[in-house]
Structure 1
Amino acid sequence: MGADSIDDCELLRAGRTRRLLGGWLPAPSTLGTFLRAFTFGHVRQLDQLLGETITRAWRAGAGPGKERLVVDVDSFIGEVHGYQNQGVGFEYTKKRGYHPILASRADSGEVLHVRLRQGKANSSRGAVRFVDELIARVKRAGATGEKLLRPDSSFWNNTLIKRLEQADWLYSISIRVQTGVPERIAEIPESTWITLEDYPEDGEAQIAETTLSGKRMIVRRTRLIGAQAELWPDWRYFPFLTNRTDDITIVEAEHRQHAVVELTIRDLKDQALQHFPSGQFAANSAWTVISCIAHNLTRWTALIGLPGQTVRAARTLRRRLLQIPGRLTRTARQWTLHLPARWPWQHDFIRALPRIRALPALV
């Protein structure tokens, strides 16, 4: 429902919501005690639960099946302002908080894997193991088509590239302009640079390709032109490695689409990950995984209930499908849920509900 703190869960105890949902709906204080009881082992079990929910949802129709699967991996900063939180530290942006790592599905925005890390953790910490677990999870979930991983430069290492190649994954990995890379870029003939037509008029962008350690390296360079050129007259280079064999313009354009992972991060920060509610690291780790499961449930509701629609922000889906004001009445031993007349998105709700109810029970 968009809660960003433990106290917000009190919403589920209001009115007759408890009767509608059923089950155990504890008070916020009890939820806090429940979270603090989690250990590292419990968090790993929750992580397995996240993987199992993905498997079941994909089998129910939300998965890519034999179609292409594109996965984006990135880290982000979860700011914390308390002074007693375990694992909190200052990271590269000089902000105090945690440094989670996240893998999301590009075409749906669902979270495929997540791991909470200490604030002082380097961006590449645990990257290889994280990707190993991601590869295994996607395989168990039943994705059999082409698979592409698009991480940022913190994932650039030979071990990870080797794991991806062994698993028959395609990759498109940003790399840093460090020793050896500028020299390879300088060797590219000026005549081979291709100008991109979709760049703003106050600048210029070109792409070209070469090799680095025997692997295909595509380089994008940009600069300002006209009056703005005085601010930054030189070319700026953005290289990445890939094992794809498609045309350079297609590969480069799809590599830039890695930025869609920020939309998933935005949605998570717009709800539970706006805050980390506990002073204990294990409790906040559990909170992170649980928030991703809740986020995925919203995404799967749209994927299965409203197939073919544009991917919308989680806030929009909550407002249109989940946060509908209603009233429960009981007549002839039956409960009836009354929803408001002329709800602007009633057709989406009416269309999605029977599709979700018709899903077979998976065991």
Structure 2
Amino acid sequence: MKPSHAVRAVFDDPNLVSAAGLVPALRLAGAAGLEDLLEQRLSVGSPNATTKATCVVAGMLAGADSIEDLDLLRHGGMARLFEGVRAPSTLGTFLRSFTHGHVQQLDAVNGRLLAGLSTQVPGLLPGGGCAAGMAFIDLDDTIREVHGYAKQAAAYGYTRQRGLNVQLATVSTPLAAPVIARARLRRGNTASAAGAGRMLAQAIVTARAAGVRSQVLCRADSAYYGWALVGTALRHDAWFSVTARMDPKVTAAIASIAEDAWHPIQYTHAVFDHQEQRWISDAEVAEIDFVAFTGRRKAEHVPCRLVVRRVRRLGPSGHGNDQGELFASYRHHAFITNSTLDTVAADARHRDHAIVEQVIAELKDGPLAHLPSGHYAANAAWVACAVIAFNTARATAAAADLAKARWASLRKKIINVPARIAASGRRLILHLPVHWPWAQHWQTLHAAATGPPRPLTT
């Protein structure tokens, strides 16, 4: 395949657009109540705030990762397809007019929009509405590195990089890719677990509003090992699964586990022995009763299970000979939980916490590739808009029968589809590429965005 020699490029067609998928995507968000929610709840002192916020979200859906990139909304026939397209300079001024309170208003809009999207697209969180099922809320944070000295609140965090900290909580089910329940921007040197209790409480309320009726399992890594997260989960009748810090008490508990209590599990390079009906694996799990947070007052002691996975070391431990060290032959990974899952299932569900890393990667590959402003509140508003865009993209993918497509794939297959605009009988017609590989998915999305919600099929 090579380009033809008889090609001459001229940018002169006013009826072409490069992101025709924004039409059904924004229509879907509108049907879920995006414009109404912004109109009712966003009180930022800027004219046409609803229109400007929608422009930012639309630009992010199409791949914008900076304020300058929002100019991609002003090409070809976009003004014929959408009303109220604004210039990047106008949108930058709009973001800089935000305060912390206005950012919280956007957070509230996202929570209610997620409920609307789950109603409009029943396949967004399949299985969550079943009381016998399970839903997962995962908490994590990441450092978004920044450069230059003009970024407010930038500091050196746990990655030893100068940046800002983004904390988020995702909601997923065994059948659904995650959506973001809550997210917030914080100073770069903020401790990971700061505000974890409030974040989890808001995430659980948001998940319930989005139709989650099943048992909720809250998962987090060792940075969140503390009473704030676990106590919030208990108050909301949720299960918790939190990686334990290897302090002396946890280490002593692991050492007290009997050798015959360990069970091989399906793990990397594991082989199942059909004759003996067991796994031949370098990883084993066991559990022991445990009381967490005994350093706090007695009412905050948490009786629970300590589930431990041990993995055989593949090389020298580097800490002396194996005979002289307690854990030299194995690496141990422990977590506390109050779930009723058996040991093997509890370990497998806890390892699935890594799904939140996929969300972080998608955000960094999209709108959070940069934090575009020097103003902290403007960057916080940018993060809030990115969350709205992410959830809209996830609903768009579910409505297009591409439920587990990543954001980059969705942009390639559905959003960034070129089209030519024509008019007939006072209606606009989008002429899309013939033989487009995902044409059927595009049409499925358009039908879902323009018609009544489709029933959930199982």
Q: Does 1:177 align with 2:243?
A: no
Instruction: Note if 1:49 corresponds to 2:109.
Output: yes
Q: How much identity, in percent, do the aligned residues show?
A: 36
Q: Which residue of 1 aligns with 2:72?
A: 11
Q: Bigger CA drift: 137-146 or 46-55?
A: 137-146
- Name the SS of the counterpart of 1:237 in structure 2: strand
- Residue 338 in structure 1 maps to residue 427 in structure 2: no
Establish whether residue 21 from structure 1 lines up as the match of residue 87 from structure 2.
Answer: no
Contact 1:2–1:270, Cα closer than 8 Å, also in 2: no
Q: Give the SS at the match of 2:282.
A: strand
- Secondary structure at the aligned position of 2:181 is classed as strand
Query: Residues of 2 paired with 1:310 and 1:129: CA distance?
Result: 30
Q: Does 1:104 align with 2:170?
A: yes
| SS of residue paired to 1:180 | helix
Cα distance in 2 for partners of 1:332, 1:138 equals 44
CA distance in 2, matches of 1:195, 1:332: 69
2:154 to 88, 97, 121: 88
* Displacement of 1:99: 1.1
Deviation at 1:244, TM superposition (A): 0.9
The residue number in structure 1 matching 2:129 is 65
Q: Distance in 1 between matches of 2:116 and 2:68?
A: 30
State the distance in 2 between where 1:260 and 1:43 align: 26
CA contact (8 A) 2:399 2:444 kept: no
- Is residue 2:246 matched to residue 1:157? no
Distance 1:197 1:65, change over 3 A: closer
In the alignment, is residue 240 of structure 1 matched against residue 335 of structure 2?
Answer: yes
Size of the alignment, in residue pairs?
A: 355
The 3 A distance-change label for structure 1 pair 38 and 247 is same
TM-score w.r.t. the length of structure 1 is 0.93
Deviation by residue 1:65-86 (Cα, 9 ceiling, x = unmatched)? 2242112111111111121111
Q: Which has the larger radius of gyration?
A: 2
Alignment of 1:204-353 (within 5 A): 204-213=282-291, 214-225=303-314, 228-229=315-316, 234-306=329-401, 309=402, 311-353=404-446
Q: Is 1:193 aligned to 2:259, yes or no? A: no
Matches of 1:355 and 1:333, distance apart in 2: 23
| Structure 2 residue matching 1:206: 3-state secondary structure | strand
Question: Structure 2: any 5+ residue segments left out of the alignment?
Answer: 1-61, 271-280, 292-302, 320-327, 454-458
CA contact (8 A) 2:171 2:207 kept: no
| TM-score, normalising length: structure 2 | 0.74
Whole-angstrom distance in 2 between the partners of 1:229 and 1:355: 57
1: CA distance, partners of 2:406 / 2:393: 10
CA contact 2:63–2:366 (8 Å) conserved in 1: yes
Deviations 1:69-123 (A, max 9, x none): 1121111111111211111000111011111111112332211110111101011
Aligned-pair distance for 1:230? 6.3
Q: What is the deviation of 1:304?
A: 2.8
Structure 1 residue 348: Cα displacement: 1.2
Task: Return the alpha-carbon distance in structure 1 between the equivalents of residues 68 and 266 of structure 2.
Answer: 51
Deviation at 1:134, TM superposition (A): 1.4
Which amino acid counterpart does residue 317 of structure 1 have in structure 2? L
Which of 184, 206, 223 pairs up with 1:115? 184
Give the Å deviation of 1:332.
3.7
Give the whole-Å Cα distance in 2 for the aligned partners of 1:290 and 1:156.
29
Counterpart code for 1:76: T
AA aligned to 2:194 is R
Letter in 2 for 1:55: A
Q: What does residue 53 of structure 2 align with?
A: none
The one-letter code of the counterpart of 2:156 is F
Q: Which runs of 4+ in 1 moved over 6 A?
A: none
